[in-house]
Structure 1
Amino acid sequence: MAATPSTRSKADLRAAALAARDALSDQQRAAAAQSVAERGMPFEIVRDMIVSGYSPIRSEIDPTPLMLKVAAQGARLALPAVTARGQSLTFRAWSPNDRMQLGSLGILEPSPAAAEVIPDVMLVPLAAFDRLGHRIGYGAGHYDYTFAHLRKVKAVIGIGLAFAAQEIEAVPALSHDVALDYVLTETRMFDFRSF
């Protein structure tokens, strides 16, 4: 008997969604990143709003085209740095010409000398998402911890970036899982703020 979405584990759902993402060609990935950038943010960018992106790894959708667009609209950019498992990410100011370095997980990060900032908007990578705004990440919980920590300080908007192929019927969300405000794909924008 095949597992239904409600009985499949996060690990199984993650693996299936990542396989769908990995199956996309480089051209499809690049076109999707451009489509997301062309549609833009689901709200107006306010001058000096801090928008944090991420350095894409594996087959993640590249946030750079969208980040460049919001920077041209007056946003300040930042990228996350991993401190330790179970701790909030830190965010450092970033611009496209900055020199980057490999962080503890082998992901490119801004220099530790870059100013630490608290983003107003976090662009978040993911393995899978559903239509309630729940996401499956890679299992370390970095973004859940970060949202929980930062939202004690200010109302940080969470925007997942994904390919349409990463949508699943239902994420088995736990009490500590933080729902996103939006998900942007190459085909549409999902707004979860009313849930």
Structure 2
Amino acid sequence: MSDVKALARAEAFARRALAFAAGQGQAAEILADYLAGQGGKVLSGYMPMRTEIDPLPAMAAHQGTVGVPVIMGKAMPLRFREWSPGTKMVEGAFKALIPEEGAWVEPEVLIVPLLSFDARGYRLGYGGGFYDRTLEGLRARGPVLAVGFAFAAQEVAEVPIDATDQRLDAVVTEKGVTVFA
């Protein structure tokens, strides 16, 4: 399965780069509108890297606590440190920006970055399993909403999956919102 996923990742990176070059359209506004319907629940976003679609405007508009992921170590679930516009950021693992300090929060809604997604609600990530472990743990404690954020061009016919892969509840793109049953 790892070879299949590696090939899928290479193809997905290329597809996402083309979509990024074309622009993000109204994606952040669509995401902000969708999140507004979540009633101010604790939200986790992410600091966009490379050609990832940018959730920062939607995170800044959120009427509630917002956190960003912090990688604690290999094969460990993510933790989330509180973030707001203007928070001092430092480089964390994999060069991802993280808040230098702040309270730890437990998200009820997660904006999940991805390389590709399919109509079943599965996503292809970077291969570290961080979001899958995190979602599994959070879902064991209660309801959590996982929202993929991507360019529409990142949709594929079928994402290769393992038994540990966690489904998304929805995907938001510049073309709209898809909710998975």
| Superposed pair shares fold, TM > 0.5 | yes
Q: Does 1:56 align with 2:48?
A: yes
Q: Give the deviation of 1:13 after TM superposition.
A: 1.6
Where do 1:164-179 residues align within 5 Å?
164-179=152-167
SS in 2 for 1:165: helix
- Asked if the contact 1:52–1:123 (Cα under 8 Å) also holds between the matched residues in 2, the reply is yes
More helix by share: 2
Q: Paired residue for 1:17, among 6, 9, 12?
A: 12
> 1:1-195 to 2 correspondence within 5 Å?
9-26=4-21, 28-29=23-24, 31-37=25-31, 40-41=33-34, 44-47=37-40, 49-70=41-62, 74-111=63-100, 113-192=101-180, 194=181
Highest Rg: 1 or 2? Answer: 1
Decide whether the 8 Å contact of 1:184 with 1:190 is kept in 2. yes
Bigger Cα displacement from structure 2, 176-185 vs 102-111: 102-111
8 Å CA contact retained: 1:45, 1:75? no
- Note if contact 1:37-1:69 (Cα within 8 Å) is conserved in structure 2: no
Distance 1:33 1:122 in 2: 16
User: Residues 25 and 106 of structure 1: is their aligned pair in 2 closer, same or farther, counting only changes over 3 Å?
Assistant: closer
Counterpart AA for 1:13? A
Supply the distance in 2 between the matched residues of 1:51 and 1:43 (Cα, whole angstroms): 11
In structure 1, runs of 5+ residues without a counterpart are 1-7
Looking at structure 1, the residues matched to 167 and 20 of structure 2 have their Cα atoms a distance apart, in angstroms, of 29
Provide, for residues 124-176 of structure 1, a one-character-per-residue CA deviation record: whole Å limited to 9, x for no partner: 00000000000000011110010111112221110000001100000121111
Root-mean-square deviation (CA, aligned residues, Å) is 1.8
Q: Secondary structure at the match of 1:66?
A: helix
Query: Could you say what secondary structure the match of 2:6 adopts?
Result: helix
Gaps of 5+ in 2: none
Normalising by the residue count of structure 1, what TM-score does the alignment of the two structures yield? 0.85
SS in 2 for 1:151: helix
- TM-score, normalization: structure 2? 0.91
Deviation at 1:26, TM superposition (A): 4.5
Q: What is the total number of aligned residue pairs between the two structures?
A: 179
2:34 is paired with a residue of what secondary structure? coil
Identity %: 37
